[in-house]
């Protein structure tokens, strides 16, 4: 079995304001402490600085991470925003409004389309599956996949229970994947809409595809099979998306300050 946990640090939230930067670091520390007892067999990280820093914080807090290799993969980079890159998010919203489109669907000049991001994620899945097979011989077994994002607040879509190891019972291989908010949103859509991922009972699509909160966590169980062309996905199940329970302690501490 393989679990992929995706931990994301939103650059929109941290790049322009020192208070937001400090808050982002605190949130990364909190999610690291929340995941401290989970054993990650493999770690895949976007090669952009913010994702690398977040992964390092998570692994530094993890009791089982000694000697774990961190693989940097450009396939996990955030969606490219073209001329809007490095500018306040409000600028992107204004561009989208002027074009008569939603901010989520709008592609700034020179930016990546959602289909291009989806293609990158599909390529990453092939890399992930092949690595799992090579390292663990896991064809025919289950794989859990999870994601976190450090963006604006969102509503979690979760199965019953809020333990850090929810959904991991019986899953023997657990991969940590660190990426970015817009990328994760596309990844979840691909898993659900294109790959037929089953969903938690009672989950609403509006929750499932909502913007992920800072260090929000999502988890998917993936089952791999071996074909002549290599490992393929034979089943997928969403355990939860956009979970942010770990941030409650941080909010309580801020209220006491």
All structural domains of the chain with their residue ranges: 2-256
DSSP characters over 152-220: S----EE-S---TTTT-TT---EEEEE--HHHHHHHHHIIIIIS--B--TT--HHHHTSPPBTT-EEEE
Backbone angles phi, psi at 242, to 5 degrees: 60, 35
**Which residue, 12, 19, 81, 3, is CA-closest to 50?**
12
Range of weakest confidence among 36-40, 199-203, 232-236, 247-251 = 247-251
User: Looking at domain 2-256, what is its CATH homologous superfamily?
Assistant: Phosphoglycerate mutase-like (3.40.50.1240)
The residue that leads in pLDDT, 223 or 112, is: 112
21-70 confidence digits (pLDDT tens): 677 778 888 889 999 999 998 899 999 888 888 889 999 999 998 888 99
- Band of residue 255 on the pLDDT scale cut at 50, 70, 90: low
168-204 confidence digits (pLDDT tens): 888 878 888 888 888 998 999 999 999 999 999 888 8
Share of the chain above pLDDT 70, in %: 80
Range with top average pLDDT, 55-59, 115-119, 235-239: 115-119
- Band of residue 254 on the pLDDT scale cut at 50, 70, 90: low
C-beta separation of 83 from 110 below 8 A: yes
- Band of residue 15 on the pLDDT scale cut at 50, 70, 90: very low
Range of weakest confidence among 27-31, 38-42, 115-119, 151-155 = 151-155
Q: What is the pLDDT of residue 119?
A: 98
């Amino acid at each position: 079995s393989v679990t992929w946990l995706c931990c994301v640090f939103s650059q929109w939230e941290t790049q322009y304001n020192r208070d937001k930067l400090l808050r982002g670091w605190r949130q990364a520390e909190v999610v690291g402490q929340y995941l401290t007892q989970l054993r990650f067999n493999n770690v895949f990280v976007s090669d952009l600085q913010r994702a690398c820093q977040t992964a390092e914080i998570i692994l530094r807090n993890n009791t089982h991470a000694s000697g774990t290799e961190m693989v940097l993969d450009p396939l996990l980079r955030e969606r490219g925003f073209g001329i809007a890159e490095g500018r306040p998010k409000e600028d992107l919203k204004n561009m989208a409004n002027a074009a008569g489109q939603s901010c989520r669907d709008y592609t700034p000049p020179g930016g990546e389309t959602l289909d291009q991001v989806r293609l990158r994620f599909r390529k990453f899945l092939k890399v992930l599956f092949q690595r799992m097979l090579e390292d663990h011989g896991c064809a025919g077994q289950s794989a859990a996949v999870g994601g976190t994002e450090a963006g604006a607040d969102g509503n979690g879509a979760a199965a019953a229970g809020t333990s850090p190891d929810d959904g991991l019972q019986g899953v023997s291989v657990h991969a940590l994947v660190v990426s970015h908010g817009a990328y994760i949103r596309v990844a979840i859509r691909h898993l659900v809409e294109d790959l037929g991922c089953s969903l938690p009972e009672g989950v609403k699509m509006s929750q499932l595809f909502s913007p992920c909160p800072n260090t929000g966590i999502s988890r998917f169980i993936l089952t791999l099979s071996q074909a002549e062309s290599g490992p393929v996905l034979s089943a997928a199940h969403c355990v939860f998306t956009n979970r942010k329970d770990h941030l409650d302690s941080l909010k309580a501490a801020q209220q006491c300050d």
